[in-house]
């Protein structure tokens, strides 16, 4: 898909209509050299790229918050976008050269709740359904849930520091190596559709490891087992001492019953506490998944969708099928995670009922024993026995819980190992090497032609601190020279489009780049020449005085901005409003 246009409009007027063409498109400033202190900065060049990203599913806040400091909000811009009900329309086309080419028209605004606009080709969606439908339109016929669309297109949209400065690490800093593995296996066209399952198993495994760490916060399971053995010896000694007292038979029997009841009470209480912690962890994970479940009134959209289907050719899947598929995937993950929840809740209820019965029995036995005569020494032994039994119940409960968690971790490890057996098999790695080799033919030849450097993609098997195996992808310069990072990044992105087309992998054919001032004039000239006859769009926001004239001659200037005419024209909006007020007063 290519970008045909980006329109910024209020309900009453079009504020900006930016038209894009094939090849290099420039977003530049129009600040005259004679203006002295005026510069081309802060006029909205980068915001154009952000608006495209926003239409492709990014959060609205990227438009009015500082990229480096998320807490700094530009209230003037935010208030303007909301007050004037600004709508951003992005039009994508399959081929810029064919007027009747397949089209995706995306509309979004900055309002909240029921006033929010998320439409695709004229059909309104809730945000979650919008993301799923957009994914299906841009990357059709996908069965796997991971990688997400936002991850897939992250290398196409480079205005954040992590995108600008890193060739491959294009996601946020909290992204795991396993997620990057899933992303690049997909981008390379390797047939691996269990990335989502692997991530789900690893997430659940980490939850169990965290729960085990909580259980063993004070001591390890082995330490508890040793302590329990010592306790049992101490209990046997105390029981022998108690037996040496000449007490009536009923008293001894009641005392044994009371000790047993206290022991069972403490064990049940401890067991409930541990099970509740486990249930909370499961329910938290379930809630996160439920938040992503798509729900929509299909009957109300049936007429609209049918109309869209008549007007747009090529729609193979019904809307309900797309929504049902997404929900089925999420529900399956949720069902897997919460499979033990009913049994766990039943056990908690069962333990609570048992505690109720035991408390009543404890009270009756305590009252009965209190009426009998006893010696001070015997009372001390009884107190010690009670304490030992309580501790024994706690230790046994923890050991039982740890054993359960270890069993779960082992089961999950077995499932992960089964996936890894395929992922790291000779056959799969042979396919991976083949795909990397195909990609490197493009990557190395483009970098050689543009910069005289030979860049390449490589990978290696790695194991993280949790002993989780994964493929680690990286790029390198085979000439061993310093190279230019910006050049490497651009070569990678261009090479990927060539590779994807060759492998029939759906991809975006446009690249959004910010801060290309970091590139040397020679690099910019070579890129401009190279892309003239290529089926690729390179959209660059850059200070005009940093561009060589040769690039300006070749490129299409999509929009020029200045201090007097910024992107949203907020500086003139107040003037228009004042004119309206004056007209009314007259």
pLDDT, position 586? 33
Both tokens assigned to 577: 């409003």
Query: What single string gives the DSSP state of each residue in 359-370?
Result: HHHHHHHHHHHH
Residue 105 vs residues 96, 118, 137, 138, 303: alpha-carbon distances, Å: 14, 11, 11, 12, 19
Residue 366 vs residues 258, 262, 358, 371, 413: alpha-carbon distances, Å: 7, 11, 12, 9, 49
Per residue in 270-312, pLDDT tens?
Answer: 888 888 888 888 777 777 766 765 555 556 656 666 766 666 6
Both tokens assigned to 416: 């992960």
Per residue in 409-443, pLDDT tens?
Answer: 888 888 888 888 778 888 888 999 999 999 999 99
Instruction: Supply the mean pLDDT for the chain.
Output: 82
pLDDT, position 303? 67
Both tokens assigned to 143: 């069965």
- What per-residue string of b and e applies to 14-50 under the rule 16 or more CB within 10 Å gives b? ebbebebebbbbbbbbebeeeeeeeebeebbbbbbbb
What are the phi and psi torsion angles at 178 (to 5°)? -65, -40
H or E stretch covering 457: strand 455-463
pLDDT, position 389? 87
Q: 89: number of CA atoms within 13 Å, CB side?
A: 19
pLDDT, position 308? 66
pLDDT for 582 beyond 60: no
3-state secondary structure of 474: strand
d(CA 142, CA 151): 14
Which class for 254: exposed (0-12), middle (13-18), buried (19 or more C-beta within 10 A)?
A: middle
Both tokens assigned to 228: 């329990």
Per residue in 54-113, pLDDT tens?
Answer: 999 999 999 999 877 777 889 999 999 999 999 999 999 999 988 889 999 999 999 998
Which class for 183: exposed (0-12), middle (13-18), buried (19 or more C-beta within 10 A)?
A: buried
pTM (2 d.p.):
0.67
Q: CATH number of 2-175+506-585: 3.10.450, 2.60.120, 3.40.50, 3.30.450?
A: 3.40.50
pLDDT, position 581? 32
Residues 6+ apart with CB under 8 A from 342: none
Per residue in 167-196, pLDDT tens?
Answer: 999 998 888 888 899 899 999 988 766 666
pLDDT, position 157? 95
Both tokens assigned to 460: 């290696």
C-beta separation of 394 from 187 below 8 A:
no
pLDDT for 579 beyond 50: no
What is the pairing mode between strands 123-124 and 118-120?
A: antiparallel
Which residue spans within 50-206 are E strands per DSSP?
A: 87-93, 103-109, 118-120, 123-124, 157-158
Both tokens assigned to 319: 């809307």
d(CA 538, CA 157): 10
**Bridge partners for 108 per DSSP:** 88, 118
Percent of the chain with pLDDT over 70: 82
d(CA 144, CA 45): 36
- When pLDDT is cut at 50, 70 and 90, the band that residue 145 belongs to is confident
Question: Cα-atom radius of gyration of the chain, to the nearest Å?
Answer: 33
pLDDT, position 508? 95
How far, rounded to the nearest angstrom, does the alpha carbon of residue 358 sit from its chain's CA centroid? 48
pLDDT for 506 beyond 80: yes
C-beta separation of 541 from 41 below 8 A:
no
pLDDT, position 92? 97
Query: What single string gives the DSSP state of each residue in 250-304?
Result: HHHHHHHHHHHHHHHHHHHHHHHHHHHHHHHHHHHHHHHHHTT-----HHHHHHH
d(CA 18, CA 460): 43
pLDDT, position 410? 85
- Sequence ranges of the domains in the chain: 2-175+506-585, 207-423, 424-488
Per residue in 355-395, pLDDT tens?
Answer: 888 888 888 777 776 655 455 667 788 888 888 888 888 88
- When pLDDT is cut at 50, 70 and 90, the band that residue 550 belongs to is confident
Mean pLDDT, rounded, for 222-228: 87
d(CA 410, CA 147): 26
Residues 6+ apart with CB under 8 A from 511: 156, 158, 490, 493, 494, 497, 536, 537, 538, 539
pLDDT, position 165? 85
d(CA 323, CA 129): 7
Per residue in 459-475, pLDDT tens?
Answer: 999 987 777 889 999 98
pLDDT for 33 beyond 70: no
Both tokens assigned to 260: 């047993």
Least confident piece of the model among 11-15, 108-112, 280-284, 453-457: 280-284
d(CA 353, CA 358): 9
* 2 vs 30, higher pLDDT: 2
pLDDT, position 509? 95
Among residues 125, 101, 136, 509, the alpha carbon closest in space to that of 312 is found at: 101
Per residue in 120-143, pLDDT tens?
Answer: 999 999 999 999 999 999 998 877
What are the phi and psi torsion angles at 109 (to 5°)? -130, -170
Per residue in 317-343, pLDDT tens?
Answer: 666 665 666 667 666 766 776 677 788
Among residues 571, 567, 568, the alpha carbon closest in space to that of 81 is found at: 568
pLDDT for 7 beyond 90: yes
> Which 8-state DSSP code applies to residue 65?
B
pLDDT, position 580? 40
- What per-residue string of b and e applies to 138-158 under the rule 16 or more CB within 10 Å gives b? bbeebeebbbbbbbbbbbbbb
pLDDT, position 571? 67
pLDDT, position 554? 86
């Amino acid at each position: 898909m290519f970008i045909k246009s980006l329109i910024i409009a209020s309900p009453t007027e079009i504020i900006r209509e930016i038209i894009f063409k094939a090849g290099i498109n420039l977003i530049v400033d129009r600040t005259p050299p004679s203006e002295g202190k005026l510069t081309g900065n802060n006029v909205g060049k980068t915001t154009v790229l952000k608006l495209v990203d926003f239409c492709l599913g990014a959060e609205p806040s990227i438009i009015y918050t500082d990229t480096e400091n998320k807490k700094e909000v530009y209230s003037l811009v935010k208030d303007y976008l909301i007050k004037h009900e600004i709508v951003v329309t992005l039009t994508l086309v399959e081929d810029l050269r064919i007027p009747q080419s397949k089209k995706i028209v995306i509309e979004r605004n900055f309002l909240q709740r029921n006033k929010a606009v998320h439409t695709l080709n004229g059909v309104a969606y809730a945000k979650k359904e919008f993301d799923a439908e957009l994914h299906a339109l841009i990357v059709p016929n996908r069965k796997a849930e991971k990688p997400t669309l936002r991850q897939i297109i992250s290398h196409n949209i480079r205005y954040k520091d992590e995108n600008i400065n890193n060739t491959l690490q294009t996601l946020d800093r909290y992204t795991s190596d396993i997620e990057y593995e899933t992303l690049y296996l997909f981008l390379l066209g390797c047939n691996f559709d269990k990335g989502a399952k692997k991530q789900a198993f690893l997430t659940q495994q980490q939850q169990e490891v965290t729960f085990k760490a909580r259980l063993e916060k004070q001591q390890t399971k082995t330490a508890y087992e040793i302590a329990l053995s010592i306790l049992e010896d101490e209990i046997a000694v105390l029981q022998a001492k108690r037996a040496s007292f000449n007490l009536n038979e009923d008293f001894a029997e009641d005392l044994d019953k009371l000790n047993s009841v206290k022991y069972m009470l403490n064990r049940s209480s401890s067991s409930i506490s541990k099970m509740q912690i486990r249930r909370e962890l499961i329910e938290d994970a379930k809630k996160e998944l439920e938040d992503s479940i798509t729900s929509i009134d299909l009957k109300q959209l049936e007429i609209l969708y049918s109309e869209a289907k008549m007007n747009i050719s090529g729609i193979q899947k019904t809307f309900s099928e797309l929504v049902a598929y997404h929900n089925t995937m999420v529900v399956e993950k949720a069902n897997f995670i919460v499979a033990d929840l009913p049994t766990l809740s039943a056990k908690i209820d069962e333990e609570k009922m048992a505690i109720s019965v035991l408390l009543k029995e404890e009270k009756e036995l305590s009252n009965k024993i209190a009426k009998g005569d006893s010696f001070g020494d015997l009372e001390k032994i009884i107190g010690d026995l009670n304490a030992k039994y309580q501790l024994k119940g706690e230790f046994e409960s923890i050991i039982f819980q740890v054993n359960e968690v270890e069993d779960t971790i082992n089961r999950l490890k077995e499932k992960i190992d089964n996936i890894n057996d395929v992922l790291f098999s000779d056959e799969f790695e042979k396919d991976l090497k083949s795909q990397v080799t195909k990609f490197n033919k493009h990557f190395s030849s483009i970098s050689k032609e543009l910069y005289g450097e030979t860049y390449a993609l490589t990978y290696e098997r790695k194991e993280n601190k949790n002993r989780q195996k994964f493929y680690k992808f990286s790029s390198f310069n085979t000439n061993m020279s310093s190279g230019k990072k910006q050049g490497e990044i651009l070569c990678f992105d261009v090479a990927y489009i060539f590779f994807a087309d060759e492998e029939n992998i759906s991809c975006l054919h446009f690249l959004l780049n910010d801060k290309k001032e970091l590139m040397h004039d020679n690099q910019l000239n070579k890129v401009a020449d190279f892309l003239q006859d290529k089926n690729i769009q390179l959209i660059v926001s850059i200070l005009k005085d940093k561009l060589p004239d040769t690039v300006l001659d070749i490129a299409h200037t999509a929009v020029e901005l200045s201090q007097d005419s910024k992107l949203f024209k907020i500086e003139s909006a107040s003037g228009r409003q004042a004119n309206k007020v004056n007209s009314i007063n007259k």
